[in-house]
Amino acid sequence: MKNALKECNNGYTMTQAEERAVRIFDHIATAVLLFDENLRLVSINSSGESLLLVSSKRLLGKTPKKIWPNTSFFTDAIKKSFQYASTRIERGIEMQLINQNSIKVDCIFTPLVIGDETKEILVELVCADAFVRVMQEFNQQAVQKAAKESIQGIAHEIKNPLGGIRGAAQLMEKELDDKSLFEYTKIIINESDRLRNFVDRMMVANTHPVKSETNIHEIVEYVVSIIRAESTRNLDIQKDYDPSIPSIHADREQLIQAVLNLLRNAVQATTEDESILLRTRIQRQMTIQNKLNRLAVRLDIIDNGPGIPAEIESGAFYPMVTGHAEGTGLGLSIAQQLIQSHGGTINYERKENNTCFSILFPIERSNGKQ
C-alpha cells in the first residue's frame, strides 16, 4: 500500500487513482484552467502553459484580468458561470498572448458543483487556428502522397532513356567528321545531364532518413554559412535561439537540405534593405501528422518579403508549383517531404508584412520515444 501513495509537498498523500487523474489532466491536448470562487487560477495543465506561452508558476493565483489584461471577456464569462451555474460555450474569441500575437480560441466554461454550490469553474480553451492547421496538414499530406507516387513513376520513366540519349550523343560525336556539328551534340549531352540532375532532385526526398543525435542550432548555423557564401549581397540575418532545446534525433544531411531550401527561398524574397529572422522555440502538446507530441522543436524562418502569390498559396508545397519564373517548383516540396519523413511538418503563414515558414519537428530520443 505504501507504494500506492505519493507524498506531496504539503504533506498530503495521493492515491494511485489521484495520481492517474493528475497525469491525465497534464497530458490532455486541450488547454484547461481551473478558477476558484475568488476568480483566482488554482490549476493549469501543460497544454494551457503552451497555449498562453507562460509557465504555471507565473500564472497560479492570478485573476483573469491579470492573465488577459486586454479584455474583460474571461472575467465576465467566469462570473456568469458562477452566477448561473451553467456551462457556457463561446466560439472564435480573440485572445492576445504575451508575445503580442493574437489567436482565436473556442472557450468552454464548466461550473464544478459540490452539493448545491459552485466551487470552481473549469475553463477549456481550444485554439481554432490549430484545428484549421491540422485539417490543412491532413489534406496536404494526402495530395503530396499522391504527387510523390506519381513523380517516382515519372522519374524512373525519364531517367532510363536519358542514359541512352546521352550515350548516343557521345557516340555520334566520335563519328562526326564535321567538328562544327559538335555544338549540337554538346547541347544534347548538357541538356541530358541537366534533366538527370533535375530528376535526381525529385527523387532525393524519397530517401529513408538515417538518424543520429544532432543539434538544431548547429544545423541552422551551418546553413547560414552556406547562404552567406552563395550570396552576392550583405544579408541581414537575425537570430533568436532558445538555448534550452535538447538534441534531436534526425538525419543531419536531410535536415540541412530542408532548412537550406527554406532559407534560400527567404533570401530570394528579400531585397538589400530587408531582413530575415531565424527563431527557435520549444512547443508542448503539439499535434503533428495526427500524432500528439509532448515536445517539439519549432524553427521559424521569417522574412518581410512579398510572400507567396495568393493564387498559388494553397499549393505552395506541391511539386512544380512556383512563383518564380526561373524556379523549378521543387524547393518547398522537397523540404516538406524531408521534414514529413521525420514525423514533422512545415507550415506557411502570412501576417501583416511578414512571411513565416515554420518547421515543426518532434523531439524524440534515439529509441524513438519522446
| Count of other CB atoms within 10 angstroms of residue 258 | 31
Please say whether the dihedral angle defined by the alpha carbons of residues 239, 242, 247 and 249, taken in this order, is positive or negative: negative
| DSSP 3-state of 89 | strand
- Identify the pLDDT of residue 173: 83
Residue 4, pLDDT above cutoff 50: no
Q: At a CB cut-off of 8 Å and minimum separation 6, what does 79 contact?
A: 39
Which whole number is the average pLDDT over 328-351? Answer: 81
pLDDT tier at 111 (50, 70, 90 boundaries)?
very high
CA neighbor of 87 nearest in space, from 55, 61, 118: 118
| DSSP 3-state of 191 | helix
pLDDT tier at 2 (50, 70, 90 boundaries)?
very low
Task: State the DSSP string of 336-354.
Answer: HHHHHTTT-EEEEEEETTE
Domains of the chain, by residue range, sit at: 2-130, 209-370
CA neighbor of 109 nearest in space, from 131, 130, 80, 129: 80
pLDDT digits (tens, 9 = 90+) for 31-43: 999 999 999 999 9
142-174 exposure pattern, b = at least 16 Cβ within 10 A, e = fewer: eebeebbeebeeebeeeeeeeeeebeebeeebe
Residue with cell 467566469: 78
pLDDT digits (tens, 9 = 90+) for 252-284: 888 998 999 899 988 888 877 788 999 999 887
Which whole number is the average pLDDT over 243-251? Answer: 90
209-370 CATH, one of 3.10.180.10, 3.30.565.10, 3.20.20.70, 3.30.360.10: 3.30.565.10
pLDDT digits (tens, 9 = 90+) for 155-202: 666 777 888 888 888 888 888 878 777 888 888 888 788 777 766 666
- Identify the pLDDT of residue 311: 63
- Identify the pLDDT of residue 188: 86
Question: To the nearest whole percent, how much of the chain has pLDDT over 70?
Answer: 75
Measured CA to CA in angstroms, residue 366 lies from 212, 214, 249 at distances of 7, 11, 6
The CATH number assigned to the domain with range 2-130 reads 3.30.450.20
| Count of other CB atoms within 10 angstroms of residue 343 | 18
Which whole number is the average pLDDT over 320-343? Answer: 71
Which whole number is the average pLDDT over 64-74? Answer: 90
For the chain, what is the mean pLDDT? 79
| Cell, residue 98 | 504575451
pTM of the model: 0.57
Contact between 274 and 304 (Cβ < 8 Å): yes
| Cell, residue 46 | 501543460
Give 27 or 227, the one with higher predicted confidence. Answer: 227
pLDDT tier at 3 (50, 70, 90 boundaries)?
very low
Distance from the first to the final alpha carbon of the chain: 30
